[in-house]
Structure 1
């Protein structure tokens, strides 16, 4: 059964943490301003590595940042559309109020995937399964469910700041023949680099190109395959064939470089007996081939030597040439598909050259085709298309190539249309195309821009074929909605179950205490490790115990490390976790949380007061484990003599921790590397005792964890951050103060293992499909995955919104300057 929600402790993690504190004692305590040579070297190295990491970040890459108070609050559908408007339109729209999108002009596309009826509880119930979502999306925000159709709201939402007249372009006057032209539909109106016109693997298979691994091409040779860019060299290729007893075979091959210079022009002797030289088309005669000894293998070897690994081959119906050459080349541009027609029809090369390049080839005066001349023509046609752009090519040659005429509409006969503020209308005014693929809904778009598919598999497959040429794309997965309708009771119980497990993650049991030890004194004892939400005294047994619920996961972790075995009024207490089935995969969950990008630079810190620190015995051994300052982990302390005997005076609270000022933290932890922000967990307090430090680099965080010895001398306890930054907003929407008995009832009620296993399989498949969508997105895409949550009569179930700005090779370019522990 899939493990629930966020874990807090594991045996493996416990050992690694307990092996991280420096060996030290009170008698050899040193001041922070006199650090050891070892720690000084580590601090200098951390600063250097942090600076190098900042320098390696791509200059001007788009990134998303959020302030702490917004990160800890859920966002609404209108706030999500604010971000989409700004990402797509820039300053024409309004900068979102809840986040900042930096270098918006570098955003090339926007993609939104909506998974119907999926909630945040589903995500954390199957947290380990969702590997792609939890590792590749660095920004996570709780989403408030909406009763409106999300896709429809995205498309039909108004852009309040935009003046439609201010974004008017000559594209506004384009005839319908332009907007629905097959070339514009395929490539969009904007001018792009040559990589936008390279055939995808799916397109090559569809157009009968030789593709590695496909049946029938086992004996074909493959050229060198490396990554291509818009600066990769173009080569024009054309071949002539004759008819043999084994079909069409190569008789001539011509290759020209990007300047039109011929680099290869060879006659080739077919191995099979020739039935027809096809002289009328090929220009090849028996006399020409009679002295030729060059074979197909010879030509293949020459091409392999001449073509660089990043070469892009250009040809007209180039699949026939490559089949004749028995050659597989991955990067090709086909001019017969570039200048495409309706219903799959294609122009002849002779027609394109005459009407676009304004010159004659394959004339009646010449005997057959000249493959070198044809190769130059295809090269120039491709170069012209790339340089001019699809819209201008269509507009300039609409009548002579495609036979359309633009009708001039008299302004006297028609009234000016009312400008529209609708998001999709503004995008289309700018010539940016949108598409919706998913379940049939009330999305108002042209039929040519939407596909209604009920299968999530079909949605992904269809999108991957179209993703290169769409600026705004919205995908809708509906399989979970159907599953929820079939298993409504199961989903209702799942939310209650996850809610109970969330509570378990923040709970520890402690005791035994003396019978007169009060709830207030327990809270005072445990809040040294973190903010305490609730304390419940348990008197069911012979001795008195307490159940302590923290607000943050780090508080529970530190309580296990710091307070387990502590002597309280001469009575040693034991601090432990609840024992439930949800804790079975705790170590795996905890490791995954620690490795999340959102926690890579974050460190949780507790500042002890001088009074408390003086009463603590900093032992070199805790619970039998030897502590080592060289390893990172939690700084552990033990109290030798326990709390002061007797109860504190009424109205006077014993201060166990001192105020944690930003100045003190920056002075102490700035030695390890630049500090981005200092974040108090939960609501701001008058006297902050705990905080999360966000460094600018992970190396600085590791250096701080490795310098536990010096930090303990200054009364600091440290712990790696494990809490997802958005968790407080979810906690406020899901926790309802239910007591332990009710939580246990919820846990026991969730016993339908078959439904749970089915959900696990569906979530695994979902994560796989989302990965395929993400990998097919071009670099510079703002990718949004929305789990919209669910509204019901029994209560709303919050959703989750995940953001990522995709960079080359799927690298993360997000950076949240302010995060919470």
Structure 2
């Protein structure tokens, strides 16, 4: 292994001036090259942290790969990240570790140090499907002869009239019945608004939201207003950049660009059509829009939109009378169809045309209004007869078939280039003429071939295969790791006096990090407490700072309980601290809700700050009272 490393390092030194740049490699040339010539521009990947999103989809990964390989002339820029100096990329390499599980990762954690030092960015992906290889290059997996027949193409809006038995199971019929309904029946209930995260009065999450001048009186003749908002991404998340409001007759009441309060990180131009140059002269702010809406909307106004909860949250306004077309035209198991799909199927018109830059907010607002008016005019039975589920399935099939014409392979073929696929399994991509597949006898051979062949191809997929753990061993190892991690995050403190204040103790230990539980140890003569933290960093801080301190009138010891699973706990903690993955990251506990604002105001104190990670509760989405600060190459104590 050491010999292989030395050979790799020697090869890297020889090839350094002409070596290819990976999108995830650390920036900066070797020191000897830097001394001899000015630093050249290198491709650099930067991302915007989404605290609400835990993973990157296969579609988003494909976006990045296509843009990295083909550039903006043949592929759109990815919407979720930024790749600077794409032209400086000579090739792109995708490593697939087939059969590797989380258990492999934990078992061989310390052996991944080199990879974690080389690659700055890590992203989670959903569980891979059988067609994962085809997904990441934008291809549909070929079906066998015994698979389902292809759907005959036809007009999307040709509705199929189903039998009354089928209609009974339609979610729209189950919710509204067969007969026509009035406007008030289409309004979302308070329970539905709460379920779908609409701003509601009295909710602690929306204390600073502005209320419209609504009344308690609403009727089937109340006026409808179509609403649509466009957003950008700032350091505080999504902020309003444009608002469109139209009346029932389609007349536009408001179509305003809005200047965000904070610095814009991403204008989302591909979705909104809004750029920095467009927003520069704008003076309208969010408070101006809120004031205007309060003035224009009558007390019994009904707001109509598609995924309207997002619009109201970005407006920071509360209005209780809403109709959401994504919930009005609901599919099975609560499926929410896209506005473009409903416009095509129900109204027979195309919106958000791909040849236009960004969406037209007025068009989207009018479309949502027309969908509600159609529903009120023709009734639930007419909508159910469209068989939206079948039409959506047909459209998805067509989209997948169309994706083959826009795949990375097709684009490479048009440029006279090929994709390289190295594997020791069946060559799944060998049937494609511009895919060079090399089958190897082992993972070692895959690596050897990759070193030779990768520089010759613009796009490479290198697949290593691992034998899965036996199920019994995997379950035992999983439970062992869970137990070990729990014990490493638990400290024992004492002895205390018998009349010590448990609440005060918890408050003190909570300053070091979030406490999951604090339990009295009953097996000791004098009171000891077991404090279990949610994160390992907090337990380590407690051991290092609280041991030997005077608390509640007692000089206490703080340490971990020694068991078979924690005999080498301190060694492992030191390894984790020195790990390249944790270098440049510090843990901050006891922060408040306004911490992010204070950090932004005092940004000059953190010139090397790369990212602020603010974890949230999985269910409540409430921000936790600790965070992680990632810095470029430096660690602040």
Output the TM-score relative to the length of structure 1: 0.36
TM-score for the superposition, normalised by structure 2: 0.46
Higher relative contact order (CA 8 A, sep 6+): 1
Query: Based on CA coordinates, which of the two structures has the bigger radius of gyration?
Result: 1
